[in-house]
Every structure is written in structure tokens, then in C-alpha cells.
Structure 1
Amino acid sequence: MTRVFVDTTITCPLSEMGASAAAAEESGYNAVWTFEGAHDPFLPLLLAAEHTDRVTLGTSIAVAFGRNPLLLATLGWDLQAYSRGRFVLGLGTQIRPHIARRYSMPWSRPADRMLDMVTAIRAIWDSWTTGGRLDHHGDFYEHTLMPPLFRPNPSDVDGFGPPPVWLAGVGPRMTRVAGEVADGFLSHPLCTPAFLRDTTVPSLAQGAAVSGRGRTAVHHSAMVIIGDSDQEMAAARAAVRTQIAFYGSTPAYQPILASVGFADLHPTLHTMSKSGDWQAMGRQVPDELVDSIAVTIDDPHDGAVELLRRYGPYVDRLGFNTPYAADPSLLARLAAEVRRSPA
């Protein structure tokens, strides 16, 4: 029986990142991920690398299209060197309104653009490691200039090489791109086991077949409802319900709702999202949908069994998505149970 790695996502202030990462490593987590929300996802991982020795460190996700291939190649190279081979460059597209209106960056053909971006990043790394000419000509990115002054020392990554690239996605097209060019896939927290089984895994396999790559590793951050009291459990459930409503209002995620029979809920949530009444949107999400997406943890052992029953056949790494202030000790106990249980 295979075992699933258990990871954690840390979104604390920079002043707390070193201690939080060290505590996560001490608790037995296999990886520490950051998320690009209100803050940069790369800076915290420099602190995490400084205060840890073993855990994998990755971005889940950094917004790819808010940056360019050279910038991402440089960030990835430096964090890989400093962490001594423990960094994972995890990238996602975000959606068009955010790229165009929040980042003021171009948006077009996101799956094709992402494929070109990853290919360009790897071309830059190859130029740095081999000393060869940089000569990338893609549909979206062109990199042909790399004077010696701007080349890092190849010995920076001796023994482990440039970092692996993981891609996030939901739809079949982007997922196929991940299977074709990425080292791993970051599943969306809203994804149900049915969606992973029927869409994610087959799409990754189709992409891998195009390039002759092996099976793509999958990480899923499962929504969980956990607490020390009935009051905490109720608050956690309410927060998860609101988060599901927020995700469900996005058109790209409608197929996930459809995978559990709630496709008709999306238009209502999408319309309500335009007025920004997130609490009212949460009240539209029925208990049946909450329980289809989130796992309620009444007991860490039983919760671990249920998480592995749902996701074990499809994923290599599990995290816990808690859109509320979950007790770290409870999550650590749950993680320990998942690690002890065969998938």
C-alpha cells in the first residue's frame, strides 16, 4: 500500500514565518506551501528555508501571468539554491479579470500561454546550467539574450538542479498542459473525488502521453471542518460554506459543482457575487454540497480514514484547506493519522 505525503500551507506574517515553518517541520509535515493572496508567496519561503532542514518548500500558487518567465526562473533558481534543492515552483493562471484588471497584464489563450511559459523557464534554466545559448521563441515569450553578467553560477544547484515546476488547473485543457510539461499538479480545494477521477486524472494522462512523460504527481488541499467544540465546529462549517459559495460563483468552477449534481447553483452564486454579499451567498449552499466537498473531522483517526477513502486513489500529497483559524495541534494530529494510514 502506498502512503500519502501530508503538507501544510502557511499564510502568517513574515515575522512569524520562520518559527511557523520550523514548527511544521517538527510536527512531521512533508512540505510547506505558501499562497499568493494578499502577500507575495516567495519571500516567506526564504525564511522557511532558513529555519528548516527537511521539508519541501513550494508556492501553491504563485500567479504566473502577473510575472514573466525570466523573473520566475530567477526566483525559482535562487530559492532552490538557498534551500539546497527543496523548492517547488508552483504556478497558476488566476482568472482573466484579475490578470487584466488587478495585475494589468495581458491575457489570452491561458493554457497555451502557460505551456509556453514553462517551456521558456526551462530554456532559461538550461542556458544557465549548461552555459549554452538562450534561444527560446514561443507564441507568447521570446528570450534570446543572456550575457555572462546575468548568468548565475551553475554550481548553485549542483547535486539537485533547477526546481521542479508544478501547475494548478481545473479544466481539462490546462490539466493536459500540466500533464505534458509539469512535474506535478496542484488540484483546486473545491475539487470533488468524482471530478478528480473523471476529469483531472484522465486529462493529466492525456497530457503525459503527448510528451512521453510518466505519471504526474497530484497534490490536493482538501477542505476540512475541524474544531474542539460544537461552537468551533459550527463556525468552521459556516466558513467552509462561504468559501464554497465564493469558489462556486466563478464560471471556471461550474464543472466541479456539476460533478456532484449542483451545476444549477452556479448562476445564482455568480449573480450574487456581483453585489459582494458573501454571507448571503453562503446561505445558498446546501448541507449536501458542503459534505460532498468538505470532510468533517469528529475524530482524527476516522477523519484520516475518510480523507484517504475519498482522495487516496487519486493524489500523492494531501493538505488541509481551512478558511478559518483552525487549531494547529488538531491539524497536526489529523496529519499524523493520515501518515500512519495506508492509502
Structure 2
Amino acid sequence: MAPMKLDVNLGVEGGYLKSVEGVAKAADDLGFSGLITSETKHDAYLPLAIAANATERLELLTSVAIAFSRSPMETAQTAWDLQSLSDGRLILGLGTQVKAHVTRRFSMPWDKPVARMRDYIGALRAIWESFQSEGPLNYEGEFYRHTLMTPFFNPGPIERPEIPVYIAGVNESLARLAGEVCDGFHVHPFHSPKYIREVVRPAISSGAEKAGRESEEVKLAVPVFAITGADGRQVEKQREAMRQQAAFYASTPTYRTVLEVHGWGEVGERLSTLAREKRWSEMPALITDEMLAEFAVEGEPDEIGDRIRERYSGLVERVALYMPFVPGERDRFWRNLIESVTA
């Protein structure tokens, strides 16, 4: 069994693009496996261009870039250029987002998101094939049609044209799609090992079986709620922060699947009611210590890596802590964590 990989998230504060080079170099030097960007306040792709130039080994992941806010052609071109620039280190992670954001924030169409994502990925691969072969482009799907590619607009072949595609999701439908057509699946930060074993993995296996693939072809990347600190005060502060984060996620009906696996569906309904009534301060109290132990890994700084490896080894291929990485701060902690997780 291959060792797990430990990735690091690029923070969205502190200048963002101005900080990328320093963060990427530091992450590469410490031995992190990959650098992850997300698309919330900023674009997910621009930082990876900077990181690609600043490093030689670090894998570059989007977790996630929003698919439906862009044409497949736009995503295909950007990914192709990043793959070429990084000498094959890009892992393209795509997400559907939700209807309100796609239609009202991006002013783009939304319908049948799973079917649309399947079509989107098919379009991407057809476009990449046209780039690599320098041949005609003739993709006609349910939502996307790409039937024109002239030499003037074709960037041409690259040395490593195979770009892994991951998608993100919570419920079974997108996990099944990952099993059918993807190279990996980004598990939501709000999860438990039991949820991964009983919901995510079986859904991926179902999709893989439908497509005639082996489910092991689909790699899982998991952000980890981690609780650790130099003293009791720091630990308690992190514990309550994770409790609050879990309560926020658990109040969303879409994420209730995670609670239901443990028989806690009624707690999710109560959290949703409190959220609708804007009674935010009352929500964390509904996340008991028993629940928190399922959603987060807790341990001393020098043992948290072992705890993560024990929890996820054999279950997922990549992990990343749900906490900021600042170069020069806690380097000893991060170095020990890398050694433990990837042992």
C-alpha cells in the first residue's frame, strides 16, 4: 500500500497572490505532497501558475474550482497551460457549487448538476485530445457542444497530457459519478471515517462497476479537522472552533447525510431550525464531545500525525489539515506531521 500524501491549503488572506511564491517554496522544502487552492474569494488557478514556477516537486491541486461558472473550453485551456508549466503536476479538482451561486452570483445556467458535470468532464477530455493530437474537435453532449478547433487556436501537444480530474461532493450521486469518470474525489471537510466507509466508498464502487473500472482507480482526498496545541488553552480554543464549524456544516440539509450515518439526523434538523432563526450562538452546544470525536482528530502536536495516519490509512490517499500553514511558524510541527502521516 502506498503511503498517504499530506497536502497543504493556500490561505486566502495576507495578500493571496503576493504570498504564493513564499508559501509554495516553503511547502516544497518541508516535504508537503501538494499545494491546494480553493475558489471562494479568489480565483483558484492564478496561484498555481506562480507555484508551478516556484517549485519543481509539489503537486498542484484545485479543491475546488467551480466548473459551471466557466465554459469547458476555458477550463481546458487553463488546465492545459498549468499542466505544461508545471511539467505534469496539476490535479484538476472541480465542483458544481449550488444553484443560488451559479445562477445568481455567476449568472450561469443550472440544471441536472450530476449529468451536467458528467458532460463537462467529457467535453474537457475531448478538448484535451484535440489539443494533443492537433486533430479535429467534435464533441456533442447533452449540455455542451464543441465542434470547432482550428490550428490558430490549438495550443498543441504537451509532454504530459494526462490531467487527473477530481470532483467534490457530499451525497452519493456525485461520488458515483467520480467512480464512473474521475480520477479522484474530494471528500467534504465535514465527514467521519464511518461516512467515508459506508457512503462514499460504496457509491464510488457502484459508479466504477457501472463503468467497468476498478474502484481503486479513484483516489480520495480529505481535509481533516485537527485539534492540537501547545497547552490546554490552545487545545480548548481549537476544540470549540471545530465544534462551531461542525455545527455550521451540520445545519445545512445537504450535509445531513453525514449525521444520518451515525443516527444523528434529528440533531441536524434542530441545527437547521436554529440557523433559520439566526440563533447562531446556540448551535455549537448541539455538537457533543462524542460527535466531535467522529468529525475531528485530536492529539498532542507530536502525536497528531500518528492519529491521522491510524484513522485514514487504507481509507484515503491524500489528507490536508483544516488549518492555516504559515512559513516559518511551527515548522517543526509541520515537519514532524509530514514524517508521521507519510510514513
Counterpart in 1 of 2:128?
125
Q: Matches of residues 99-248 of structure 1 in structure 2 within 5 Å?
A: 99-154=102-157, 157-158=158-159, 160-214=160-214, 215=216, 216-248=218-250
Instruction: Report the CA distance between 1:324 and its aligned residue.
Output: 10
Instruction: Report the CA distance between 1:105 and its aligned residue.
Output: 1.8
Measure, in 2, the Cα distance between the counterparts of 1:328 and 1:31.
18
- Please identify runs of 4+ aligned residues in structure 1 that moved more than 6 A: 323-326
Deviations 1:57-107 (A, max 9, x none): 010111111222111101100110111111111011122222222222222
Which stretch shifts more, 115-124 or 2-11?
Answer: 2-11
Measure, in 1, the Cα distance between the counterparts of 2:18 and 2:280.
30
Change (3 A) 1:277 1:71: farther
Deviations 1:30-50 (A, max 9, x none): 111111111111111111111
Residue 306 of structure 1 pairs with residue 307 of structure 2: yes
- SS of alignment partner, residue 57 of structure 1: strand
- SS of alignment partner, residue 271 of structure 1: helix
- Normalised TM-score (structure 1): 0.92
Paired AA for residue 233 in structure 1:
V
Counterpart in 2 of 1:316?
317
Counterpart in 2 of 1:14?
17
2:64 aligned to 49, 61, 66, which one? 61
Measure, in 1, the Cα distance between the counterparts of 2:79 and 2:301.
39
Instruction: Report the CA distance between 1:285 and its aligned residue.
Output: 1.9
Does structure 1 retain, via aligned residues, the 8 Å contact 2:133–2:156? no
- SS of alignment partner, residue 206 of structure 2: helix
Residue 337 of structure 1 pairs with residue 340 of structure 2: yes
Instruction: Report the CA distance between 1:328 and its aligned residue.
Output: 4.5
Change (3 A) 1:133 1:26: same
Does structure 1 retain, via aligned residues, the 8 Å contact 2:91–2:165? yes
2:55 aligned to 48, 52, 68, which one? 52
Measure, in 2, the Cα distance between the counterparts of 1:117 and 1:180.
14
Which stretch shifts more, 186-195 or 3-12?
Answer: 3-12
Measure, in 2, the Cα distance between the counterparts of 1:35 and 1:277.
29
Which stretch shifts more, 292-301 or 35-44?
Answer: 292-301
Instruction: Report the CA distance between 1:16 and its aligned residue.
Output: 0.8
Deviations 1:216-274 (A, max 9, x none): 11111111012222222122112211211121122111010112232112122223333
Residues paired across the two proteins, number: 336
Measure, in 2, the Cα distance between the counterparts of 1:324 and 1:97.
31
